[in-house]
Structure 1
Amino acid sequence: MYQPKDASQSPRFTGIRTFMRLENIRTTDNVDFVIVGVPFDTAASNRVGTRYGPQHIRNFSVLLRPYNPEQDIDVFEYCSGVDYGDIDIIPGNVLRTYDRMVEGLTPILEKGVVPIILGGDHSISLGNLRAFHKKYGKMALVHFDSHGDTWDQYYGEKYTHGTPFRRAVEEGLIDTEHSIQVGMRGPLYGPGDIQDARDLGFEVITMSETRKLGQKEVIRRIHERVGTEQPVFVTFDIDFVDPAYAPGTGTPEVAGPTSHEALEYVRALDGLNLVGFDLVEVLPAYDHGEITAALASAVAFEMMTLVALKKRRLSGNKEGTQALPLGAGQQ
């Protein structure tokens, strides 16, 4: 079983930086989740530097502890996980990087292991979805973001961080009837920037609508839209969160959720058939005091917790004692 080092025995500032001080090993044996970095950012339209996002999140994540009091579970009583390292991306070539991503993620997915993928700009989600489609077919998408990322092109380019979900729909990777986008806001080029996603079949709840509906109602709508059977991929753009809480990103938009609200959205996904996650657009150069890294590492930890909750539920053990033996594919 793989778990973090005990910080009461080994100080957090020692050792090579991995997520939560997990073992850095490329294995799918006896693991339930893996942390994977995709440090690609040359499909971004404004600030670049999210290629350093994975290492920035890992660096701060050493402060995480295994017990999640909000969900009342010790993640590593039920799960084994490793830091799988990074995909060897190709700077400046998004299409060849997608090929590398599919190649790198396929052996993980074939074993039924849940990847938690750290970006990188949001263009990487298309590569992720291509890999997941090989295993699961059309998937439901739960998308937290301030932008819909369903433009047809940007600067005449079809593959950017503003276009991945239009391409994913065109490629038949997403079941839009069971997919939802939450948090869209900010000035747009025109009304089509929101309507395009709806025309593709997504349910879209803008940030102003979430304020009117309330968080509980938005969560209810997510569950109603997605259902419990469909395999679900969760994509979380850190600019979903208000820049007061997450300044380290490339295209910040004001009037977003607080860090507390953002974590509550992730926690509330428990009960869905979650098979994979990505967390994107963390840009260290603009991250004053590492507050974006603090939030991003907490979001990734909540994603790990969701894997543990699902494992506990399937084991039939809800009392916090040791679950069934860990093994790949017990999802």
Structure 2
Amino acid sequence: MRDYTSLLALVALASAHLEHEYQTPFSGPYNSLWYSTLPGDGGTQADSVFSGISTFGRLPYFPCLSSDAETYDIAFLGAPFDTGTSYRPGARFGPSGIRQGSRRLNLYGGYNVPLDANPFSSPIKVLDCGDIPVTSYDNTWAIRQIEAGHNTLLMRKPYTAADQKGISKTGRTLPRIITLGGDHTITLPLLRSINKAYGPVTVIHFDSHLDTWKPKVFGGAPSEVASVNHGTYFYHAAQEGLLKNDTNIHAGIRTTLSGPSDYDNDGYCGFEIVEAREIDTIGTEGIIKKIRDRVGTTNPVYLSIDIDTLDPAYAPATGTPETGGWSTRELRTILRGLDGVNFIGCDIVEVAPAYDTNAELSTMAAADILYEVLTMMVKKGPLTAQ
């Protein structure tokens, strides 16, 4: 009898929890005027996750670069640029591919079980703001376009806590931008934009490559334009004072080098290195600890994720694939271990859908990675001053 009573109490508790967490299904753009023309009793019909235009996670879309009529706390923004690649181009289609891969994120409601939060059902307002119009004919101008587009959205008043003091240089609370790349060159103009708002910042960089190479080592830098590419942008960021010294970290590194001096230069740029193979000895928990110890929980932190952190078995659609990488499960576990870090922005880059399988392995992986990041940002709430 006692066990039966306990079971009833448990069922009642679970029912109350489910009622509290219940999400209203997507209603879609269709109303009874259309639906009533069909046989039956009329009513409404919700969109399926495979219908309608693609936005990230089927979030509401608003052309934020054309109008400031809508406010937001977190915005997704595409940067379709790939003319800074050294091997395989195609990441200009990354933003659209990632959006397509994200369609089923909230198929069952969007609740993130490990992080105990639902980024699609919260007071935090999240929009998909579309793409920055980026030229494919002039790298210098394209980089300026990306910086200007990002900064336009970054410096606006957020939907939540707009009148509260924040951690930016001006003391304002600012929204956060999640950028869909694009090759990794885009991180340089994004950091320039971030610098205008926050000053030098700490960077967590997930990648198989260092991306701190001196231009004369990586590509030879025959011109100033050629010296800025997806392998040198952190070198330029360090030279421009965009990085907070000795708080930055790479994770997932497994590239070949021109020589040991590449590691010396990387240290000069202010980075510590966690190599991909370390997961075999210290595991995901050890990697999480190294990252958290390096960046802390009070520094403003920018997160840059190259999809090639994943092994090509899990994400073949990338510009410079490297074998020996982490699985999607391992990377998502490591990211979730960073819950509570002061993320002020994020990008995911080097997704080149043309090299994917027809099962959309890479674009789905990229979308799921950003789902973890979005959940952590929503849990953190507005970046107000403590």
Same fold, judged at TM 0.5 (above): yes
Aligned 8 A contact 2:317 2:362 in 1: yes
Give structure 2 stretches of 5+ with no counterpart. 1-23, 29-44, 158-173
Corresponding letter in the other structure for 2:90: G
1:70 correspondence with 2:114:
yes
Partners of 1:181 and 1:121 lie apart in 2 by: 17
1:37 alignment partner AA: G
- Partner residue, 2:232: 163
Matched with 1:191 is 260
- Report the Cα offset of residue 4 of structure 1: 9.1
CA displacement, residues 54-109 of structure 1 (integer Å, 9 cap, x when unaligned):
10110121111121112111112242111101111121422212211221112322
Question: Which amino acid is 2:141 matched to?
Answer: R
What are the ranges of 5 or more consecutive residues in structure 1 without an aligned counterpart?
A: 315-328
Quote the offset at 1:35 in angstroms: 0.5
Offset from partner CA, 1:159-198 (integer Å, 9 cap, x none) = 0100111110000001131111111113322222333212
The 3-state SS of whatever aligns with 1:85 is: strand
After superposing the two structures, state which structure 1 stretch, 293-302 or 95-104, moved more: 95-104
Q: 1:263 to 1:6 in 2, by over 3 A?
A: farther
- Shift, 1:23, TM fit: 1.7
Cα distance in 1, alignment partners of residues 329 and 246 from structure 2: 29
Find the counterpart in structure 2 of residue 306 from structure 1: 376
Residue matched to 2:179: 117
Give distance in 2, aligned partners of 1:15 and 1:63.
13
Alignment match, 2:269: 200
Instruction: Please say which of residues 85-94 and 239-248 is displaced more in the overlay.
Output: 85-94
- Per the alignment, residue 148 of structure 1 pairs with 210
TM-score, structure 2 normalization: 0.77
How many angstroms apart in 2 are the aligned matches of 1:287 and 1:80? Answer: 32
Select 1:80's aligned residue among 88, 109, 125: 125
1:148 match: secondary structure: coil
Q: Verify: 1:129 aligned to 2:166, yes or no.
A: no
- Cα gap change, 1:221 to 1:4, in 2 (>3 Å): farther
1:31-50 matched pairs, under 5 angstroms: 31-50=72-91
1:145 corresponds to which letter in structure 2? D
1:264 & 1:195 partners in 2: Cα distance? 30
Identity rate, percent: 38
In structure 1, the partner of 2:99 is: 58
Change (3 A) 1:185 1:6: farther
Residue matched to 2:148? 103
Q: Residue 96 and residue 268 in structure 1: after superposition, are their counterparts in 2 closer, same or farther (change >3 A)? A: same
| Structure 2 contact 117–379 (Cα < 8 Å) conserved | yes
Q: Please give the per-residue CA displacement for 1:303-328, whole angstroms capped at 9, x wherever unaligned.
A: 110111102xx7xxxxxxxxxxxxxx
Structure 2 counterpart of 1:242, which letter?
A: D
- Tell me the residue number matched to 1:234: 303
Instruction: Specify whether residues 4 and 298 from structure 1 end up closer, same or farther in structure 2 by C-alpha distance, changes over 3 A only.
Output: farther
**Any idea what SS the aligned residue of 1:204 has?**
strand
Q: Is the 8 A contact 1:4 1:23 kept in 2?
A: no
Provide the secondary structure at the position in 2 that maps to 1:219.
helix
8 Å contact kept, 2:25–2:46: no
1:220 lines up with 2:289 in the alignment: yes
In the TM superposition, 1:250-265 aligns within 5 A as 250-265=319-334
Residues 211-242 of structure 1 show CA distances to partners (whole Å, capped at 9, x for unaligned) of: 32222122112111111221100000000011
Deviation by residue 1:13-69 (Cα, 9 ceiling, x = unmatched): 221111111122034644210110000000000010110011011012111112111
- In the TM superposition, residue 330 of structure 1 has moved relative to its aligned partner by 5.9
Asked if the contact 2:297–2:341 (Cα under 8 Å) also holds between the matched residues in 1, the reply is yes
Please list the CA deviations of residues 217-272 of structure 1 after superposition, one character each: whole Å capped at 9, or x if unmatched: 22112111111221100000000011110111011111111100111122122111
Larger radius of gyration: 2
Match of 2:362 in 1: 292
2: CA distance between counterparts of 1:62 and 1:12? 6
Which has the larger displacement, 151-160 or 54-63? 151-160
The structure-2 alpha-carbon separation of the partners of 1:104 and 1:5, relative to structure 1 and needing over 3 Å to count, comes to farther
Whichever residue aligns with residue 285 of structure 1, its letter is A
Match for 1:107: what amino acid? T
Match of 1:91 in 2: 136
Number of positions where the alignment pairs a residue of Structure 1 with one of Structure 2: 313
Q: Is the 8 A contact 2:285 2:334 kept in 1?
A: no
CA-CA distance at 1:134 after TM superposition: 0.2
Q: Which amino acid aligns with 1:25?
A: F
Higher relative contact order structure (alpha carbons within 8 Å, sequence separation ≥ 6): 1
Contact 1:4/1:20, CA 8 A, preserved across alignment: no
SS at match of 1:177: coil
Aligned to 1:323: none
